[in-house]
Amino acid sequence: MTLIAITGIEDPLRPGVREAVADCHKAGVTVKMCTGDNVLTARSIALQCGIYTAGGIIMEGPIFRQLERQDLLDVVPRLQVLARSSPEDKRVLVARLKHLGETVAVTGDGTNDAPALKTADIGFS
């Protein structure tokens, strides 16, 4: 057997995403990313967008859902990326942010986003 080639494919960010995230940060809006992607892909995208910054936390859904209530309250403010997240993980994140006194807006494009959209103060789908 002879290896002939290795190919990598990257789906580039849409135009304006970096600027939109930067505008949110300038306006005092904290941007968090919840995705079904694996943690390495999620980290790469979050870095490119400007969502993941020094001191932030990236976590996978299976670990997030095992956290105790107090641990959730400690992690959620610094959580910037939630990878391999389930619909329930997204809903819990929104609920904890609201519990901490945050006004929460959620964007979503699928039925798996419905619980978080419903729980949020503002939902865009």
pLDDT in tens, 45-94: 999 999 999 899 999 999 999 999 899 989 999 999 999 999 999 999 99
Rounded Cα distance, 112 and 99, in Å: 22
Q: Tell me the backbone φ, ψ of residue 48, rounded to 5 degrees.
A: -60, -35
Q: What is the pTM of this model?
A: 0.87
Strand positions, DSSP E, the chain: 33-34, 57-60, 79-83, 105-107, 122-124
How many C-beta atoms lie closer than 10 Å to residue 59's C-beta?
21
Q: Tell me the pLDDT tens digit for each residue of 28-56.
A: 999 999 999 999 999 999 999 999 998 99
